[in-house]
Amino acid sequence: MRKSFKFRIYPTEPQIEILLSILCSCRTLYNAALQQRRDAWQSHKRSVTCYDQIKQIPEVCAAFPEYKSIYSQVLREPLRNLDKAFQGFFLRLKYRNGKAGFPRFKSRDFFNSFTYPQAYNGSVKVKEKKVWFSKIGAIKIRKHREIEGKVKTVTIKREDKRWYVIISCDDVPQRVLPPSESAVGIDLGLTYLVTLSNGEHIDNPRWLRKSEEALKEAQRILSAQKKGTLKRRKAKARLVKIHRKVTNQRRDFLHKKSRELVNKYGLICLEALCIKNLLRKKNGEDHQDVRLHKSIGDAAWGMFVSFLLQKVEETAGTRRIRQVNSRNTTRTCSQCGHILREGLSLSQREFFCPHCKLLIDRDLNAAINILRAGRLPVLGVA
């Protein structure tokens, strides 16, 4: 199993200058390689491959001495990333009827990492309090957990003024949990983030909503500053800091809740939602619908489902997760199976069945239906 471990590192001022210099050099190399591909096609209708550009790295190092101080494998990664961008571009052209965005040049704000692709060869050495990089030196690391498996690649990433190291490992041992026969259905919502089929709820913390006033004030100050000034850079850093806090709060909360569910239940059933379609703006939508999009994004259903899938995958088969079709899960009575002709509006928080007279919370009713649908393959029912 492949898994990544992220740790914060604390480079000194001279090391920060080295890291920024490497980022700048890699970004320049990426943009130059993109320009070379564009010019070759526009002038001679000739394609330049990734291998052709990698072979030119020694010439680049000879012409620009600053590239000699960078580990050679690090210089190859921007070219491979550019090749992946072109592969994605051609794939989008194929499946979108010729409509696809061409790979773009990277600005300073959109190029924040570089990678040691063969860290297992000794170019990176991780210890308890230090991590050593070839051509950079030893940097202090906050190693809050043990690294498992075989180290394959190591990425240094800048997030605002903070620096992190992401260590990708292969052959990570799986986490075997005690057997559990309990099963649960999950309905994702906005009033409650999660409603379980046993009647329990997980509250929706609404991290973005709680920080809206601070974000508005920070955005207002940023908009008033002149571009290119020191005040604007400081205002931008203040805005980024607030967004980073919201992101960290959301990720931490969802990690903890998904871990609790995976540890407790042997089978987890949930809806197979397409979040992108829910967030896609349609013609004629009113202001309330747009606010709903914002609430869906703040709830981060997709991230929560992704965390559940990741944690279940790590359990070596001791936990299972099933995604079921969400059609009619809200309109179907969980007691008698009667399907309402018309769906419930968002303001209707209770489900009433005219056939068997069942009155139940709408989210709980949906969670029970999801659990029943998720159990069908387990029982072998068609």
Rounded to whole angstroms, the Cα distance separating 163 from 151 reads 19
Rounded to whole angstroms, the Cα distance separating 286 from 8 reads 43
Domain coordinates in residue numbering, the chain: 3-170, 183-206+245-379
Q: Evaluate if residue 144 carries a pLDDT over 60.
A: yes
Rounded to whole angstroms, the Cα distance separating 327 from 370 reads 10
Rounded to whole angstroms, the Cα distance separating 256 from 203 reads 13
Query: What confidence score (pLDDT) does residue 301 get?
Result: 93
382 band by pLDDT with thresholds 50, 70 and 90 = very low
Residues in the chain: 382
Question: What's the fold here for domain 183-206+245-379?
Answer: Nucleotidyltransferase; domain 5 (3.30.420)
Unique residue bearing structure tokens 């309109």:
331
Query: What confidence score (pLDDT) does residue 327 get?
Result: 86
Average pLDDT over residues 58-76: 93
Rounded to whole angstroms, the Cα distance separating 356 from 192 reads 27
Give the Å distances, CA to CA, from 194 to 97, 98, 270.
39, 40, 10
Mean pLDDT of the chain: 90
Query: What confidence score (pLDDT) does residue 52 get?
Result: 94
Unique residue bearing structure tokens 């499946």:
95
Q: Evaluate if residue 57 carries a pLDDT over 90.
A: yes
Query: What confidence score (pLDDT) does residue 283 get?
Result: 55
Rounded to whole angstroms, the Cα distance separating 265 from 267 reads 6
Q: Evaluate if residue 200 carries a pLDDT over 80.
A: yes
Class of residue 130 by CB neighbours under 10 A (exposed 0-12, middle 13-18, buried 19+): middle
Top mean pLDDT of 172-176, 255-259, 317-321 is at 255-259
Average pLDDT over residues 268-291: 69
First CA to last CA distance, the chain: 32
Rounded to whole angstroms, the Cα distance separating 16 from 11 reads 6
277 band by pLDDT with thresholds 50, 70 and 90 = confident
Residue from 305, 309, 347, 311 nearest 326 by CA: 305
Rounded to whole angstroms, the Cα distance separating 300 from 208 reads 11
Query: What confidence score (pLDDT) does residue 94 get?
Result: 86
Unique residue bearing structure tokens 């604007």:
232
Torsion angle of the four alpha carbons 289, 295, 297, 298, in this order, in degrees rounded to the nearest 10: 170
Average pLDDT over residues 82-88: 95
Average pLDDT over residues 142-166: 93
Residue from 27, 129, 43 nearest 77 by CA: 27
Average pLDDT over residues 46-51: 93
Percentage of the chain exceeding pLDDT 90: 70
285 band by pLDDT with thresholds 50, 70 and 90 = low
Rounded to whole angstroms, the Cα distance separating 182 from 262 reads 11
